[in-house]
Amino acid sequence: MAEVIGLGAGGHAKVMIEALRLCGDHLIVGLLDPKQDLWHTNVLDVPVLGDDSLIPELLEKGLQLAFIGLGGTGDNGPRRKLHEHALLQGIRVVQAIHPHAEISPSAQLGDGLTVMAGAVINAEARLGVNVIVNTGAIVEHDCVLGDHVHVATGARLASTVRVGPGAHIGAGATVRQGTTIGEGAIVGAGAAVVKNVEPWTVVVGVPARVLKHIGATW
């Protein structure tokens, strides 16, 4: 098994650890996190070694793989920055696909993709890098998801939905077929999106309406 380090030691890291263990392809040797109170603790029996300053030392020891243990709760900017930081350091971010997810063989999957238990990705969907399709979420056929998108737990994207980079689709939200969600937009939990959402806009409700416009984070 290839050795892998986790970048982040929060709740999302727990889910990643269990998914990777079930896949059986990687040995998780440790976690890195900037929070000093987590150092020298364990997350599901995986030690938190320190922060990202340890990356050069780990590279010297031959470690070349990592997973992103930081989730996204609306602002996917920190997760994007962590992913880009790993790549700049010379670390490759691995995919983590839970064995109980269902993925069409014709789907196109980007590097660093995370797909959790019960998720479905259907025919000829295209997903960018560092995307999360969380527990029980559905990405229907011919959807296109940009880089760093998070489709949260139980969310549903009907066919041919387009989701811009960094957008967040909240837990239990539904997006009608053929709809476009703009870059950096946030769809609130439980919302029903029936028309296009502009970039860097927060929408909520049934049907979804604009709550506010937010500034671009990248």
Token pair for 2 = 């290839």
Token pair for 39 = 């150092």
Of the residues 12, 98, 100, 141, only one is catalytic, namely: 141
Query: Prior bond to 207 cis, omega within 30?
Result: yes
Are 1 and 27 spatial neighbours (Cβ–Cβ below 8 Å)?
A: yes
DSSP state of 197: B
In sequence order, the 6+-apart residues with CB closer than 8 A to the CB of 64 are 90, 91, 92
Is residue 141 part of the annotated active site? The answer reads yes
Q: Is residue 161 packed enough to be buried (19+ CB in 10 Å), middle (13-18) or exposed (0-12)?
A: buried
SS3 state at 31? strand
* Catalytic (active-site) positions: 141
